[in-house]
């Protein structure tokens, strides 16, 4: 993963009021810590930071006070309505150092006909070099038949990365696709749980049974 350079400014003002002023200036308050050092409070450029943090586990080269420090985002606070970044916690890392991170799992390909691919885990915990964290782990289901299971230990990982989760953790499960009758039964069950009355076909209540009762006399002579 390439490094993203962010030029930061040291800050000495803290609290909600100071944070609001920083955000109004289109910047982001942040704190940088790790390796036994005292936390350093900094201000990051808003737009560049937002772009950088679109990538999971983005490797940042934070430049402040004339020096550069490698860091990974530890916690990112976002406004739930505006989706803007309100605060970032960054943890210091060194080249060659191994870190444990959660990496997205992406499924690609088409399984065999009449199957359904169920993804049980969207991320996997990996140990990797801080400067070589994969953006994602790709799982191919191309042509896989029902009954196939892909476990954490089956994943193809980049060199230098190892799984930190249990290797027997289920990642992807290929099962038989449900039949139309099964889908209809599940829908009916869901409607019953939700208290939805079953739909009555129009005209169904008007049906008569032939051969019962007295026949009406005919007007024809």
- Name the DSSP letter for residue 54: T
* pLDDT band with cut points at 50, 70 and 90 for residue 186: confident
- Whole-angstrom distance, CA of residue 211 vs CA of residue 100: 78
pTM of this structure: 0.72
Question: What are the residue ranges spanned by the domains of the chain?
Answer: 4-93, 99-176
Superfamily of domain 99-176: Ribosomal protein L25, C-terminal domain (2.170.120.20)
Nearest-angstrom CA–CA distance, 96 and 192: 58
Residue 110 reports pLDDT greater than 80? yes
Do 42 and 53 meet the contact criterion of CB atoms below 8 Å apart?
Answer: no
Asked if the model's pLDDT at residue 145 lies above 80, the reply is yes
Q: How far is C-alpha 115 from the geometric centre of its chain's CA atoms?
A: 23
What count of Cα atoms within 13 Å lies in the side-chain half-sphere of residue 19?
12
Q: What is the mean pLDDT of the chain?
A: 87
pLDDT of residue 221: 39
CATH 2.40.240.10, applies to 4-93? yes
Reported as a single tens digit per residue, the pLDDT across 75-103 is: 999 988 888 899 999 999 998 899 999 99
Residue 147, pLDDT > 60, answer: yes
Structure tokens at 68: 């550069």
Q: pLDDT band at 19, cuts 50/70/90?
A: confident
- Residue 88 backbone dihedrals phi, psi, to 5 degrees: -135, 130
């Amino acid at each position: 993963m390439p490094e993203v350079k962010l030029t930061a400014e040291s800050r000495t003002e803290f609290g909600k009021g100071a944070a609001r002023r920083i955000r109004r200036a289109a910047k982001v308050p942040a704190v940088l810590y790790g390796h036994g050092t005292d936390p350093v409070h900094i201000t990051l450029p808003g737009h560049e930071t937002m772009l950088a943090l679109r990538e999971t586990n983005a490797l940042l080269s934070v430049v402040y006070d004339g020096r550069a420090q490698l860091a990974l985002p530890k916690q990112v606070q976002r406004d739930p309505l505006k989706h803007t970044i309100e605060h970032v916690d960054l943890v210091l890392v060194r080249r060659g150092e191994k870190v444990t991170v959660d990496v997205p799992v992406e499924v690609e390909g088409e399984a065999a006909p009449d199957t359904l691919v169920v993804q049980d885990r969207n991320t996997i915990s990996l140990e990797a070099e801080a400067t070589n964290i994969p953006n994602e782990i790709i799982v191919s289901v191309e042509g896989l038949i029902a009954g196939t299971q892909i476990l954490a230990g089956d994943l193809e990982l980049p060199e230098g990365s190892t799984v930190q989760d249990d290797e027997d953790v289920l990642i992807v499960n290929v099962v038989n696709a449900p039949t139309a009758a099964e889908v209809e039964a599940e829908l009916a069950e869901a409607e019953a749980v939700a208290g939805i009355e079953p739909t009555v076909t129009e005209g169904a209540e008007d049906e008569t049974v032939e051969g019962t009762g007295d026949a009406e006399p005919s007007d024809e002579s």
